Amino acid sequence: TFDYEPFIKRGNLDSISLYTKNIEVVILKSKFDKTKSKLTYDSDSLNIIQIDNHNVIGAEDVPNTYISKIYLDLSNNYVEIDKRYYEDLYEPNFNLTEAYYYDKEIIVTMGNSDGYLGYKVNFFIDEQLNIKRIIYIP
Q: CA dihedral in degrees (19, 81, 122, 56; nearest 10)?
A: 130
Question: How large a percentage of the chain has pLDDT more than 70?
Answer: 99
pTM: 0.93
Residues 106-134 have a mean pLDDT of 93
What would the pLDDT profile of 36-90 be if each residue is shown by its tens digit?
999 998 887 778 889 999 988 877 788 999 999 999 999 999 999 999 999 999 9
82 within 8 A of 95, measured Cβ to Cβ: no
By three-state DSSP, how is residue 31 classified?
strand
Backbone angles phi, psi at 57, to 5 degrees: -120, 120
Residues 102-121 have a mean pLDDT of 91
